[in-house]
Amino acid sequence: MKVSARNALKGTVKAIVPGTVNTEVTVEVAPGVEVVSIITKASADSLGLAENKEVYAVIKASDVMIAVD
């Protein structure tokens, strides 16, 4: 796989919550560190997602903001 995004985090699918249109996918990228994504149900089906499957969380963003209290 080649992708132009610089932030591709390899991980394991921990949970899949299908909805009518979208599916919530939780990916564990390190012990105790999870990334949650909302993708279309069609995309989730096309990718053959299942718990414990190895996947990449590809993050493409033009801005990353930092905040403090």
Predicted confidence (pLDDT) per residue in 34-45, tens digit = 999 999 999 999
Instruction: Examine residue 11 and state whether it is found in any structural domain, yes or no.
Output: yes
Q: Tell me, what CATH number does 51's domain have? A: 2.40.50.100
pLDDT (0 to 100) of residue 5: 80
> By C-alpha distance, which of 32, 38, 34, 43 is closest to 9?
34
Residue 27: domain span: 7-59
Instruction: Examine residue 64 and state whether it is found in any structural domain, yes or no.
Output: no
Question: Contact at 8 Å (CB) between 27 and 35?
Answer: yes
Within 10 Å of residue 32's Cβ, how many Cβ atoms?
6
Mean pLDDT per segment of 10 residues, for the chain of length 69 residues?
A: 85 97 96 95 96 94 80
Instruction: Examine residue 65 and state whether it is found in any structural domain, yes or no.
Output: no
Instruction: Examine residue 67 and state whether it is found in any structural domain, yes or no.
Output: no
Instruction: Examine residue 66 and state whether it is found in any structural domain, yes or no.
Output: no
Provide the number of structural domains found in the chain: 1
Instruction: Examine residue 53 and state whether it is found in any structural domain, yes or no.
Output: yes
pLDDT (0 to 100) of residue 62: 73
